[in-house]
Amino acid sequence: MHENLLGGPAPTLLPDDPEPRELLAQGTAPADVAAKYPTSSLAWAQLADDAFEAGRVVESYAYARTGYHRALDALRRNGWKGHGPVPWEHEPNRGFLRALHALARAAGEIGEQAEYERCTTFLRDSSETAAETLGLTAGSRARRPPAGTIPGPA
């Protein structure tokens, strides 16, 4: 992390919640992980990615929205005031960032342009690294995260 010299809010760093991440990495079904850890935005983001990849865009949107709202709750509990950096480099933040990306992607697919634009701007404002890593570059549409950014069986 770098020191914020612009006087904006400090980066929000969510506390580690390793159990859901480890279960997903071991190949546990994301639905089982979300049922056991319903506050895990990472589990909901994975469900959203899987549904999107299978062509179930509305289902992906619903999963992504759930993960997004779970993450907003966690961010607020950890001092976030509605804006400021949420660094991708801090692994516990990735569930939020992935859910936000998934929400943008699904919103774009169903033609909800205002939501797509709001979410893509929010993602870039939260973490430009996340936007780039997840494939959201200037002028591009949100897409499935590249291999290696999603926990899964080794």
What confidence score (pLDDT) does residue 145 get? 53
| CATH code at position 72 | 1.25.40
The crossing angle, in degrees rounded to 10, of helices 18-25 and 41-53 is: 30
Q: What is the DSSP letter of 37?
A: -
What confidence score (pLDDT) does residue 146 get? 47
Q: What is the C-alpha to C-alpha distance for residues 86 and 33, in angstroms, rounded to an integer?
A: 24
Give a yes or no: residue 145 inside a domain: no
Give a yes or no: residue 128 inside a domain: yes
Give a yes or no: residue 148 inside a domain: no
Average pLDDT over all residues of the chain: 90
Give a yes or no: residue 4 inside a domain: no
Full residue range of the structural domain in which residue 78 is found: 18-133
The token duo for 129 is 């690294």
Which residue's entry shows tokens 């760093």? 13
The crossing angle, in degrees rounded to 10, of helices 57-77 and 41-53 is: 160
Segment 88-95 shows an average pLDDT of 98
Q: Which residues of 76-89 are buried (b: 16+ CB within 10 A; e: fewer)?
A: eeeebeeebbbbbe
Give a yes or no: residue 5 inside a domain: no
Q: What is the C-alpha to C-alpha distance for residues 118 and 26, in angstroms, rounded to an integer?
A: 34
What confidence score (pLDDT) does residue 147 get? 46
Q: What is the C-alpha to C-alpha distance for residues 61 and 42, in angstroms, rounded to an integer?
A: 15
Distance of CA 24 to the CA centre of its chain: 15
What confidence score (pLDDT) does residue 9 get? 94
Q: What is the C-alpha to C-alpha distance for residues 35 and 20, in angstroms, rounded to an integer?
A: 10
How many structural domains are present in the chain? Answer: 1
Segment 120-137 shows an average pLDDT of 94
Give a yes or no: residue 80 inside a domain: yes
What confidence score (pLDDT) does residue 136 get? 81
Whether the Cβ atoms of residue 99 and residue 115 lie closer than 8 Å to each other = no
Give a yes or no: residue 154 inside a domain: no
User: Which of 101, 82, 116, 99 has the alpha carbon at shortest distance from 46?
Assistant: 99
Give a yes or no: residue 44 inside a domain: yes
